[in-house]
Structure 1
Amino acid sequence: MDRVLVFLAFFMFNCIAQAQQPNILWVTIEDTSPHFIGCYGNADAKTPNIDRLSREGVKFTNAFANAPVCSPARTTIITGVLNEVLGTGNHRSKYPLPDKIKGFPSYLKKAGWYTSNNAKTDYSVGGARKMIRDSWNESSREAGWWKRTDGQPFFSVFNHMNSHQSRTMTNPYRWYRAMIYDSLSGEERIGEAAFEMPPHFNDSAEMRRYFARVYNAISLTDKEIGKLLDKLEKDGLKDDTIIFFYADHGEAIPRGKSGSAGIGYKVPMVVWFPDKYKELSPWPIGSETDELICFDDLAPTVLSLAGIKPPEYMTGRPFMGKYRKTPGKYVFTSRNRIDESPQLARSITDGRYMYTKVFQPQFPELEYQKYADVSDIVKQIRQDYSDNKLNKVQSEMMDSRNGSEYLYDMDNDPWKLHNLAKKPEYREKVFLLKEKLYQHILEVRDVMFLPEYTMDSISAEMTPFEYRLQKGYELKKILDQAFLCGERKKPEEILSGLESENRDVVYWSLMGIQSLREIDLSGVRHKIMEKMHSSYLPVRILAAAIAFERLGAKEKAASALRPLLKFDNDLVTLQMLQNVQYMKGGPEFFKDDLKAFVALRKQDKSFLNSVSVAETTLFMLGEGELYYDNMKKWMD
């Protein structure tokens, strides 16, 4: 009898404890910057539901995505760990994770919560199905809090897609009219003359026609958010639910999503508290906070609100709840390969200034990227550039980069138009932030400085997370060489890396040579020609590209590169084609090879990124039917 009473008391205690837990609702939207939300100061925006959450909740003015594209951002969100630690920075890569690193909702499930996801996952991890299964009671388009048991606390995520790049840019204009514009009433629509054009875009009738898509897609998304919040209230749950609103990264416009300049990182974020849980907010309701928030903070914060201690492996900090930690002084963000477009960049911000080091400045800011290039707005920008219709600010994203370091004052330059990195009065700020960034990369043992082919090879033996902790990963040597990229005053140091016994230092030495076309290569010609036959394929590709473009050895370089079109690892072929695409004379020289490659590999989805590079390159040469027409058919 006593055992029965003890069991009943324990059962009642757990029921009461569960009933006292707040429900947590995540309302996430795609591809949106604070610039386009009413409560962040845009009087042209029509976002009444988001604005109301802000008035009644807490608005964050310094919230940052860790990456400017969805899958690496969502990987950090679900794990609470930065991509440079996991090796998950390249868009939709599939490298394994250690068993100890889990999707954070699995901890809530274990504690008795109902977890649902409606419905996007898009995690850059191997074994994603297991992570989804372990994390969510249900992950589908029908998932929601309504399937939990009575009194069971829930954590529910709803991902709203209508602000996605496909809606604002890449789907055909007629699709946008039918699916976005016609879904809004006259009062909910934003006209083509009813907003201020971002200054880095040409303010023309054509551009306004395309850019109005951004405002109307966000207006429709806000309308959907209103319907979701109405359902929460009708179900009698709003008074027991903490609501998070945020975007998965910055706006899907040129220089935003996929960019390394900073617009792609800053996101709108609001947290709304019901009266009974207002004491869980460290800030007054109806206020705003400039506390620094990064996406790796989200997982530990939700666990903290649920009374669960976040695991030690998480790189983020809880900014609310039982285990709240004081904010750090900096947030670190990263840009790696996105689709077929190459770029490695690292940024640091103190909330006011953002410093960025671009490690591959040989590529322009607006890189070729099939998914974005198919859009009317990017085609218009490229055409206006060709026709000399753009001013200096508007042309910069198309021009060759003038350096590898960027410093922006985000308070006074929200569009990040004025690079302060070379101004004498900001020398100390650049030095400080650069040093802090360097130390952060070393401290977390950033594994993304390895070529992607190497990451893939490593993953057959161990996880990138584990490899980065090995003594054999000589990160400081690699990093010291990588930081020389774009440094015009240090040609000797760049070239000296060719003598290193570390193959990845050699790789970054060659990358440094690519980044500075004015470097005199006469003294290292033989060394580069020798590297063109390296068994380490990432080095061979860079050496051959340099030999082709700058050493007058086109035929020898081509003989080293052509076999890689038939290589059995797509990441090798991808790197080879990326170099062909950007090297002077490369696209025309390899035109017939590219046509044959596209014809051979078109039906093999495992070669998607490589085919995209080849198609983009052919489009540059006037082979439009292999690019835009096929892409339009796929979208329709």
Structure 2
Amino acid sequence: MKRWILCVVTMLLQYSIVAQSRPNMLWVVIEDTSPEYIGCYGNEVVNTPHIDSLASIGVRFRNAYSTGTVCSPSRSAIITGVKTYKTGTGDHRSSAPLPDQIRGFPAWLRESGYYTSNNSKTDYNTSSANRLIRESWNESSNAAGWWNRAPGQPFFSVFNFGASHQSRTMTNPYDLYQKQVLDQLPDHLKVADDDFEMPPYYKDSPEMRKQMARVYNGVSLADYEIGMVLDRLKADGLTDSTIVFFYADHGEGMPGIKTNGSGQGYRVPFVISVPEMYGHLSPWGAGTVTDQMVSFVDLAPTLLSLAEVTIPDYLDGRAFMGVDTSSEPTYLFVSNDRAEGSPSLDRAVIDGSWIYIRSFMPYSHPMRWIHYIMYGEISQQMYRDFNTGQLDDAQAQMLQPRPYEALFNLREDPYEQFNLVSQHPERVIRMRSALLAHMVDERDVHLVPEMDLKKLSDHISPYELRKSDTINWSLLVEVAALSGLQDNDAVQQQLAYLSHQNPWVRYWAAIGLKAQKNLSWKQIKQIRDYRTDTCLPVQVYLEGILHDHGDESAVQYFIEALSSEDQERVKLSLHLLQYSRHKEDLLSEVKDLFEKASSRRGWSAIKQGADVLIYRITGEPLHMETFW
């Protein structure tokens, strides 16, 4: 008994000593919010006094970026410290496994003596999530917090606030938003429909203002809830010993931003408040603003550096605070991939406030035809306004095919209204070259079709697959980079690649041909020769192209595809029909699919995808009740 008491006393003394030299660390994380909707970033209408207060005594980052534009890939990169195009977790709601060597970074804090708690979102986007949670957290629940640690034990605590999430700001029905947000927000913090300026890419109408006000009130409520956590920190006497990080998990959760590879989707508000006790660990003084570039893969090494824990070599980021810092990189690289049933592959390279964006599937548009977007009243209003010709050119761009490459200065043009590709050719060449070289060097695993990546994941993790020398990553990038080029030379190369022995090369050739705006009948005839490709994604894309050009056999192909029991084939077929010129040809079959999927477990994504397609063909109301 005496020995046990001695061990406990010794442990508590160790925690006390460590606490004196190592900081407590607190994350307060909101969802789906761009800097333009935070007070300390210049918005004078939103009510964010607690976030603004942290900035007034801390450091505010003007060039902080999420690694993705939707929540689960973003959280995958945060918890692992590894880019999603290396782990294969870039597709929203994926089940890609991680090798055992990749851990949740809080595991190293925990093993070094920290009490780690998560309240309470995980959403790590991998089949290895349970292992990450188990290794990372002493507690992960709605009741988790620093208050459950041993006396004197240093802590790392995370709190996530969902009031600003896209579900509240646009997707949930308005009456549910009232219950979840307005009824919870004190009257003096509420923002009215006519209090703010509309972003230029949304029509300034009463209907749209009613929806945009949801963003302001969601962010205001999130700040109000952050205040409760900070009040408890103060009441527990821990403010002077705790470094507080505030950030959003990615940019604004509104049409054309979330799930879209835009600068506003990547750029996030990011503030760190460091108490005087630990001022030596920060290169910035109180109340400062920095242009230093940081991204979410920098969080893991930075927290390990602050805690004086050895940083694993495989982490992609760098520590920008603490005892083991690294210099700022020349560029940041970020990515956006599939969301819901909508494939995508967008990559961007960032140089301060400059962002070069490359869309490898430019036949789609920024808003994207996915149910989670279209179920929002604001999206339906935009679609009605677009169809009735009520949108100006800037607003209509949300529902038109995007440029395959874009260059923006986010400091001068935060809403990305002016594509500067033609004005800065040397910068474009430099940043484009850096991006494509990075994709080759890092072996961007999402160049592999998702269907194949899933099958291969039964035997090898995507992270390990990248190491295979049998895959010609340089060629895959070369063929993918043809997508969007609108010239005959690009078409001829894409047609030639349809006969390549590697199915993934053929896949990118087919996507590039889908993005071509003007194919001749001779070229269409050549595509018909390859329509029986043994690689299913290639086959579906080629049939989609033929369907665009009135091929009757393609209609029959999609009739059969929509009745298939292969969910992946059905999902991809629905996606191609969303962007088809003749989608109305399949209305009866899509309606049958909706009914079939409605009665089947595990077919909800197909049901909702069919629902959106029916809505777009007929204008019939969406079946939103099936979503809720």
* C-alpha distance 465-502 of structure 1, shift in aligned 2 (>3 A): same
2:580 corresponds in structure 1 to: 583
More moved, 84-93 vs 106-115: 106-115
Letter in 2 for 1:452: E
* C-alpha distance 385-560 of structure 1, shift in aligned 2 (>3 A): closer
TM alignment of 1:143-542, pairs within 5 A: 143-401=144-402, 403-421=403-421, 423=422, 425-489=423-487, 490-523=490-523, 525-526=525-526, 528-542=527-541
Residues 194-228 of structure 1 show CA distances to partners (whole Å, capped at 9, x for unaligned) of 11111111111111111111111111111111111
Contact residue 280 and residue 321 of structure 1 kept, 8 A: yes
Residues 551-598 of structure 1 show CA distances to partners (whole Å, capped at 9, x for unaligned) of x432x2244444444555433321121112211113x22222222222
Aligned Cα root-mean-square deviation (Å): 2.0
Contact residue 256 and residue 264 of structure 1 kept, 8 A: yes
* C-alpha distance 196-14 of structure 1, shift in aligned 2 (>3 A): closer
* C-alpha distance 459-5 of structure 1, shift in aligned 2 (>3 A): closer
* SS of 1:297 mapped into structure 2: helix
Return the alpha-carbon distance in structure 1 between the equivalents of residues 370 and 531 of structure 2: 27
1:617 corresponds in structure 2 to: 613
- Give TM-score scaled by structure 2 length: 0.95
Quote the offset at 1:623 in angstroms: 6.6
Quote the offset at 1:161 in angstroms: 0.4
Quote the offset at 1:178 in angstroms: 2.7
TM alignment of 1:59-138, pairs within 5 A: 59-138=60-139
Return the alpha-carbon distance in structure 2 between the equivalents of residues 622 and 62 of structure 1: 44
Return the alpha-carbon distance in structure 2 between the equivalents of residues 302 and 355 of structure 1: 29
* C-alpha distance 325-199 of structure 1, shift in aligned 2 (>3 A): same
Return the alpha-carbon distance in structure 2 between the equivalents of residues 359 and 629 of structure 1: 31
Residues 579-619 of structure 1 show CA distances to partners (whole Å, capped at 9, x for unaligned) of 12211113x22222222222222244533332222111111
Quote the offset at 1:240 in angstroms: 1.1
Return the alpha-carbon distance in structure 2 between the equivalents of residues 346 and 381 of structure 1: 26
* C-alpha distance 521-133 of structure 1, shift in aligned 2 (>3 A): farther
* C-alpha distance 127-13 of structure 1, shift in aligned 2 (>3 A): closer
Letter in 1 for 2:173: P
Contact residue 297 and residue 318 of structure 2 kept, 8 A: yes
**Tell me, which stretches of 5 or more residues in structure 1 are unaligned?**
none
* C-alpha distance 10-621 of structure 1, shift in aligned 2 (>3 A): closer
* C-alpha distance 524-170 of structure 1, shift in aligned 2 (>3 A): closer
Quote the offset at 1:290 in angstroms: 0.8
More moved, 324-333 vs 7-16: 7-16
Return the alpha-carbon distance in structure 2 between the equivalents of residues 257 and 270 of structure 1: 21
* C-alpha distance 472-566 of structure 1, shift in aligned 2 (>3 A): farther
Return the alpha-carbon distance in structure 1 between the equivalents of residues 6 and 261 of structure 2: 62
* C-alpha distance 331-182 of structure 1, shift in aligned 2 (>3 A): same
Return the alpha-carbon distance in structure 2 between the equivalents of residues 358 and 276 of structure 1: 46
Quote the offset at 1:11 in angstroms: 8.3
Return the alpha-carbon distance in structure 2 between the equivalents of residues 515 and 629 of structure 1: 31
Contact residue 12 and residue 150 of structure 2 kept, 8 A: no
Residues 454-487 of structure 1 show CA distances to partners (whole Å, capped at 9, x for unaligned) of 1111111101111111022211111101101110
* C-alpha distance 606-471 of structure 1, shift in aligned 2 (>3 A): farther
1:628 corresponds in structure 2 to: 623
Return the alpha-carbon distance in structure 2 between the equivalents of residues 141 and 366 of structure 1: 33
Residues 378-401 of structure 1 show CA distances to partners (whole Å, capped at 9, x for unaligned) of 111111112221111111111233
Aligned: 1:574 with 2:571? yes
Return the alpha-carbon distance in structure 1 between the equivalents of residues 545 and 326 of structure 2: 49
Return the alpha-carbon distance in structure 1 between the equivalents of residues 7 and 400 of structure 2: 74
More moved, 27-36 vs 191-200: 191-200
Return the alpha-carbon distance in structure 2 between the equivalents of residues 499 and 96 of structure 1: 32
Quote the offset at 1:42 in angstroms: 1.0
1:549 corresponds in structure 2 to: 548
Letter in 2 for 1:549: D
Letter in 1 for 2:404: S
Residues 81-123 of structure 1 show CA distances to partners (whole Å, capped at 9, x for unaligned) of 0000101000010011111001111111111211111111111
Contact residue 538 and residue 575 of structure 1 kept, 8 A: yes
Return the alpha-carbon distance in structure 2 between the equivalents of residues 592 and 10 of structure 1: 70
Return the alpha-carbon distance in structure 2 between the equivalents of residues 435 and 607 of structure 1: 41
Residues 44-99 of structure 1 show CA distances to partners (whole Å, capped at 9, x for unaligned) of 12111100000000111100001000000000000000000101000010011111
Quote the offset at 1:148 in angstroms: 0.8
Contact residue 341 and residue 572 of structure 2 kept, 8 A: no
* SS of 1:317 mapped into structure 2: coil
Return the alpha-carbon distance in structure 1 between the equivalents of residues 408 and 193 of structure 2: 29
More moved, 463-472 vs 615-624: 615-624
* C-alpha distance 74-13 of structure 1, shift in aligned 2 (>3 A): closer
In structure 2, which of residues 566, 578, 594 is the aligned counterpart of residue 598 of structure 1? 594
- Give TM-score scaled by structure 1 length: 0.94
Contact residue 261 and residue 406 of structure 1 kept, 8 A: no
More moved, 606-615 vs 473-482: 606-615
Letter in 1 for 2:425: R
Quote the offset at 1:6 in angstroms: 13
Contact residue 533 and residue 560 of structure 1 kept, 8 A: no
Contact residue 565 and residue 573 of structure 1 kept, 8 A: yes
Return the alpha-carbon distance in structure 2 between the equivalents of residues 327 and 276 of structure 1: 25
Return the alpha-carbon distance in structure 2 between the equivalents of residues 14 and 135 of structure 1: 19
| Identical positions, percent | 38
Return the alpha-carbon distance in structure 1 between the equivalents of residues 542 and 444 of structure 2: 25
Return the alpha-carbon distance in structure 2 between the equivalents of residues 51 and 326 of structure 1: 28
* C-alpha distance 8-52 of structure 1, shift in aligned 2 (>3 A): closer
Return the alpha-carbon distance in structure 1 between the equivalents of residues 516 and 525 of structure 2: 15
Letter in 2 for 1:594: V
More moved, 187-196 vs 174-183: 174-183
Return the alpha-carbon distance in structure 2 between the equivalents of residues 19 and 8 of structure 1: 17
Residues 499-537 of structure 1 show CA distances to partners (whole Å, capped at 9, x for unaligned) of 3221111111111111012033515624x2232212211
Return the alpha-carbon distance in structure 1 between the equivalents of residues 7 and 228 of structure 2: 45
